[in-house]
Amino acid sequence: MELTKNISQTKIIKSLLAIILGSIALTISAKIKIPFYPVPMTMQTFVVLFLGVSLGYKIGLASVGLYLLEGIVGLPVFSNSPEKGVGLIYFTGPTMGYLIGFLTASYLASKINNSDNFILVLTKLIVATTTIYILGLLWLGTLIGWDKPIFALGAKPFLLAETFKVILLALITKKIIKIRNFI
């Protein structure tokens, strides 16, 4: 009985540590801007997908959820915070739909498994990433008006970088899953 209790406590501690580290990784990925064309690239969406693939849907979603909660309560974790504000005001700004899309993307990325071939992995990652942009564009259009060129403003400049990140993750996903299954 005592052994089972200790194993359970150890599992909870490992899970909490993974959630916190996932949130930290997401914060770091939001702050580092890599020169890219046509706009600088962050690795946020890569890390969101990586969390789903590497930690599974429960821990991955909890990591993304913690990251969002940290930002909502005012910690400067988001990409352009504190320069463009913090807290709920920043969260409900133009990027809210994308940030909420991180949850769906992480969840969908967690559904990749070891039996998936490269094309299926790539397809699942594209679908997961697409949910970020669908939710982002829906919120952006609602916020600034549908008469504006929503796709040109909120998706087109990022597509080349997203393609790069999705292909990169698809190439290493099998190794990530093997490590996840080993641990």
Domains of the chain: 2-182 (1.10.1760.20)
Which residue carries 């504000």 as its tokens? 85
Give CA–CA dist 170/121, Å, rounded.
6
Helix boundaries (H) for the chain: 2-31, 44-72, 87-91, 96-109, 118-144, 150-154, 159-182
Tens-binned pLDDT, residue by residue, of the chain (183 aa): 676 777 788 889 999 999 999 999 999 999 998 888 778 899 999 999 999 999 999 999 999 999 999 999 999 999 888 887 789 999 999 999 999 999 999 999 999 999 999 999 999 999 999 999 999 999 999 999 999 999 999 999 999 999 999 999 999 999 999 888 776
Question: How far apart, in Å, are the Cα atoms of 84 and each of 64, 94, 157, 161?
Answer: 21, 11, 20, 23
As given in the structure block, the two tokens for residue 103 are: 């949850």
